[in-house]
Chain A
């Protein structure tokens, strides 16, 4: 047959069948224009969001996020219903809007890493008909990339964008640093929309999400509250509470005495005062012992950047930039790299970075005699935390260290059995509290290193539990109804635990 250039082309040759002749360069599936700028209402018209769709957001703006609430409110006005809301996580700033729109029927299902404040409380009290799906950062990336979580529209709050759709997290008045959670969404969603308050000339300087993934770019007045996005520098404080200093010095000592503490070791910490204090102590130890680490990973603060800039670590892999120092560093330092949630922790790719970790320092709301950890529900049974990277890093690391106060407001941290399992005890190696250190029985190597190389005492976890209970005295257990309000997925998608409605 002839194509439009009058060339003689076959419909089939040997095993190649169903061949299509060239019909001109105006194939309507191929985009020519790279001017994706569009108005707010216009894009929502164009997207034609239908009932039951799945929409996603990122939480890199933390308490400074504006866009999720704005979109939900607009969709409510448009009469959309039964949406599945699948942000990477939810914070206090979202509570009122989400609660209201669940009640109105706009939102039917929620997939998230965490729930806080009023929203967590209401869901624990039976707000929703459908249980919430809780996933870790790696679990969410895995679910998205394998299609189990199928996103129709990814709404991305972008600190900076150009009209072709390139997005940067590190530049602009509302800069947030890494945009790793959003990157996975952009790669897999059916449609991706970038909202920004900072349009720049093409091309954006440092690209977090490339134009090939973005359908529309919308300019708004304000994308977020900068004062709540990138806080003032988080460093070890001279006023670290003494109890936290005790825990931090024990952690630093444990690391120092560990066989994994050698040239090119890697580390992930949290961003709380214990982690920052530990980093500060490790800095001194590393200088003294002339040990350089290979990489730091996780939520990054000025405290972490300080180690990179002093040549004590070779690279930073940033999953979330917590303060101004981290944002500036990711913007200007080639050794400070943004990684997406899949690179970080997706168990189903060919090897996420968590597998390269030596040490990870994690928190816990509760831990039990089997070393299972709960970071999701409080001692009152209410949803108040997040799965985050906990189970991912605990699995991948050589040594996982839990730091927690032994008592919180009269409630012991060590329990017979945790209210909700987020991370199984098989992946938890050490518990450090201000009143004692416990090592998982299957880690004789850690016990040996602590005994040989440090002056720290180890106590059996059931002994420490009894010691603490003799102080607090036994608590009544919380009662739950049968109704399941949350399904906790382990990072591989299997159900590791449930959250029930409280009585």
Chain B
């Protein structure tokens, strides 16, 4: 089972007090940002600070990811050279638009891993789809590297690229969301959704999270700790779902032991895909209860 990625807490990479406390809020991952939240004049301070933070702070079991600067800037090379030395779990690549870009990043990481005795393939990748071109090439991007563990979507930049405004209903990125999920699942990796910018609107956050869960996303980025618990509540299986799943799995086991081909629960015929889904739910429930 993939690791849980229900929530990813964004942190500006140049603020020590936030880097030190990132893991106490209960999110599944943290996303340390070197891109939009760091002014141009401070790109160097941020990357050195983050490298040191990664090497010195014990983040426990949380997945630690770093968003580097986009490939069309000069910064990403120095970012990768510094950050890989801190052994982050994954690097988020903003504005990914082609397989070639991802391969370039992959090669650079490989080189630095080798030069520094880091286990090859250690640092994973999470390409971000934030432009129309990125959406167009999403399949080749998702398959471009064995380091890819998730595809993520950046709603704000995507809307800008499409020449539209972000709305509460997010119809403008609906198709892009679906395509990202499709490509991620085809490549056997996770799909992670964009931020919900209205921090005070918890109900709206929950509604959007329910929608993206339906579409197939495994989690959502977060810009304030208050958003974490509501998102987990949406992703966590309910008591009812867990009970149902337990029933289905035991019925399947019983049928297998008796050598029966057909499984019935509540007088309904249950196909194997449903049994699989039930097993996944129970396994997921176990992880989320930890």
Contacts and interface: CB of A to CB of B under 8 A. Distances in A.
A242 interface: yes
Contact of A246 (B20, B25, B200): B25
B269 interface: no
Contacts of A470: 58
B225 to A, nearest CB: 4
Interface string A225-242: 000000000000010001
B150 to A, nearest CB: 25
A434 B22 CA distance: 11
B200 A242 contact: no
B24 A238 contact: no
B25 A242 contact: yes
Interface in B4-49: 20-21, 24-26
Interface string A433-476: 01100000000000000000000000000000000001100000
Interface string B50-62: 0000000110000
A245 B24 contact: no
Residue picked from B24, B25, B200, B225, most chain A C-beta under 10 Å: B24
Given A238-B200, A435-B24, A245 B225 contact: yes
A238 B200 CA distance: 8
Nearest to B21: A243
Interface of B: 20-21, 24-26, 57-58, 200, 224-226
Nearest to B9: A242
B24 A243 contact: yes
A471 B21 CA distance: 11
7 contacts: A238-B200, A242-B226, A245-B225, A435-B24, A470-B58, A471-B20, A471-B57
A226 B143 CA distance: 68
Contacts of B21: 243, 434
A434 B225 CA distance: 13
Contacts of B226: 242, 245
Nearest to B224: A242
A471 B23 CA distance: 13
Nearest to B23: A435
A470 B56 CA distance: 10
Residue picked from B21, B26, B200, most chain A C-beta under 10 Å: B21
A95 B21 CA distance: 36
A162 B57 CA distance: 64
Contacts of A238: 200
Nearest to A407: B20
A246 B24 contact: yes
Given A242-B225, A243-B24, A471-B58, 10 more contacts: A238-B200, A242-B224, A242-B226, A243-B21, A246-B24, A246-B25, A246-B26, A434-B21, A470-B58, A471-B57
A470 B224 CA distance: 27
Task: For the complex of A and B, list the 8 residue pairs with the smallest distance between their C-beta atoms, beginning with the closest.
Answer: A242-B225, A434-B24, A435-B24, A246-B24, A242-B25, A243-B21, A246-B25, A242-B226
B222 to A, nearest CB: 11
A471 B57 CA distance: 7
Contacts of B20: 471
Contacts of B200: 238
A208 to B, nearest CB: 41
B176 to A, nearest CB: 31
Contacts of B24: 243, 246, 434-435
Nearest to A470: B58
A245 B229 CA distance: 12
Nearest to A434: B24
A454 to B, nearest CB: 13
Nearest to A249: B229
A242 B20 CA distance: 14
B230 to A, nearest CB: 13
A149 B34 CA distance: 62
Residue picked from A238, A242, A245, A471, most chain B C-beta under 10 Å: A242
